[in-house]
A = this chain, B = another copy of it.
Amino acid sequence: MTGNPVLDAIDAAILRELQNDARISNKDLAARVNVAASTCLERVRALQRRGVLAGFHAEADPAALGRPLQAYIAVRVRPHNRDVVEPFIRFVLDLPETLALSHIAGPDDFLVHVAVRDAAHLQRLLLDGFTSRREVAHLETQLIFQHHRKWDISPI
C-alpha cells in the first residue's frame, strides 16, 4: 500500500495538476492527463487512500486579510521535555498569527512563522504571547521580506 515505490506518469500528472489548481473539474483533469473521467476519479481516490494526496486547501493572502508583515520567531524552551513541549505546540498553533510551526534540532527548539498587521502587532505578540510564558527561555525574531512557497512537489 504505502510500499509502492513510485507514481506512474499519470499519477504524477494528476498530482501536478491538482497542486496547481485543486478546484479543476474531474472532467478537465481527465482531459489534461489523457484518461477517461471515470479512470481519473478512481486514480484521485487511490492517491487519497494512499496518503499521497493529503488534502485540498484554498490559499488565502495574509496581506489581503490585513496581515502584510511576516516573521520567523526562533524559540528556546526550557525544560525541553514532553510536559512542556506539547502544551507549547498547542499554544502556538492556537494563535491566530501563526502560519506554521516547526520543531527543530539545534540551538533553537522551535521556529514559528507568523503573519501580523504591523511591527507594533509583532511586538505585542512577542511580549504578551511568548516572553510572558515561563517555559520560553530565549527568542530571536527575523523579519521576512519575501516568502515564496512552491505548490507543486514532485516525487524525488
Is the CB–CB distance between B2 and A64 below 8 Å?
yes
Find the B residue at minimum CB distance from A92.
B148
- A2 surroundings in chain B (CB, below 8 A): 64
- A50 surroundings in chain B (CB, below 8 A): 64
Provided the pairs A57-B59, A143-B104, A150-B100 are in contact, do residues A64 and B93 lie with their beta carbons within 8 angstroms? no
Is the CB–CB distance between A102 and B65 below 8 Å?
no
- Bound CA–CA A65/B19 (angstroms): 14
Is the CB–CB distance between B99 and A149 below 8 Å?
yes
Is the CB–CB distance between A22 and B22 below 8 Å?
yes
- Bound CA–CA A58/B51 (angstroms): 12
Is the CB–CB distance between B96 and A156 below 8 Å?
yes
What is the count of identical protomers in the complex?
A: 2
- A27 surroundings in chain B (CB, below 8 A): none
Is the CB–CB distance between A57 and B60 below 8 Å?
no
Tell which of B20, B52, B58, B89 touches A18, judged by Cβ atoms closer than 8 Å: B58
- Bound CA–CA A57/B147 (angstroms): 17
Cβ distance A32 to chain B, nearest Cβ, rounded Å? 14
Provided the pairs A93-B150, A98-B150, A156-B96 are in contact, do residues A59 and B55 lie with their beta carbons within 8 angstroms? yes
The 5 lowest CB-CB distance pairs between A and B, nearest first, are A18-B58, A22-B56, A65-B155, A105-B143, A22-B22
